[in-house]
Homo-oligomer: A and B are copies of this chain.
Amino acid sequence: MAETTLGQRMAAGEALLTAWSSIPEPLTTEAVARLGFDAVTLDMQHGGHSEESVLRAVPAVRMGGPHPIVRIPVGRFDMASRALDFGAECVIAPMVNTIEDARRFAAAMKYPPLGERSWGATIAMLRSGAADDGQGWLQTQNTRTLALAMIETREALAIADDILAVDGIDGVFVGPSDFSIAWTRGARIDPSLEDMMEAIALIAAKATAAGKHAAIYMVDPALVGRCYAMGYRLFALGSEYG
């Protein structure tokens, strides 16, 4: 794992870019990982990634340098643990719409006493060159890994402070496409919808106030500067598909 964690870099104020990988093919991931992005996100929610492809693609990301991130399908917290066990550094959980969702996500991501993550990261430890230091792994992983909860509905916005208050949730990740559908009550899909920008700024402000991270999917790269000013530090920028 990179000496400096993704969380440390976000906390230091860096503007970090993550590529978005939808193609479940490690050769593609390998190529994407060498394009200069700070991170690569393997998307299991809407992309073609599966349990198997994440297992194969994580080393393809790490080889090239970027931080490996996995977005799990809705509610699949079993996969959050497994993504970490395969060597991911950060997991993004979509549609965290209730406190219960946030708690279950945190539980899957963090070892006790903070959470309920189960011991068995043999593969991740091998991939990190830490195969022989279980005790060190136990003591450091809760701070080295990142649990980002997606805020992308009105419900989630309404309880964003509570989500951010959950121990083990390290930050929020805004999904502006879904948020625009929610904001317009199903009428429009527009990830750059001006109307909702105030709400999006509010989410970052809440994260900052809670001492946690804010990240966002960017369809229009021109908005990166504006969102950085709001407090966002990690930006997802398009997929291999275009």
* Chain A residues within 8 Å of B, Cβ to Cβ: 22-28, 30-31, 34, 45-48, 50-53, 55-56, 59-60, 62-63, 73-79, 81-82, 85-86, 94-95, 97, 108, 111-114, 116, 118-123, 126-127, 129, 131, 134-135, 137-138, 152-153, 175, 177-178, 181-182, 185-186, 188-189, 239-242
Contact = CB atoms under 8 A, between A and B. Distances in A.
B175 A118 contact: yes
Given A63-B59, A81-B74, A31 B126 contact: yes
B31 A120 contact: no
A50 B86 CA distance: 12
B82 A45 contact: yes
Task: Give the number of times this chain occurs in the complex, counting copies.
Answer: 6
Contact of A52 (B53, B153, B185): B53
A129 B33 CA distance: 12
A-B CB proximity, top 3 nearest: A46-B120, A25-B25, A73-B78
A28 B118 CA distance: 23
A55 B116 CA distance: 29
A50 B50 contact: yes
A174 B67 CA distance: 35
Contact of A59 (B60, B152, B186): B60
Contacts of A59: 26, 30, 59-60, 63
Nearest to A30: B59
B122 A241 contact: yes
Given A113-B185, A118-B74, A24 B52 contact: yes
Given A24-B55, A47-B120, 4 more contacts: A75-B78, A94-B118, A119-B181, A123-B241
Contacts of A81: 45, 73-74
Given A48-B55, A55-B48, A31 B241 contact: yes
A94 B78 CA distance: 11
A234 B52 CA distance: 29
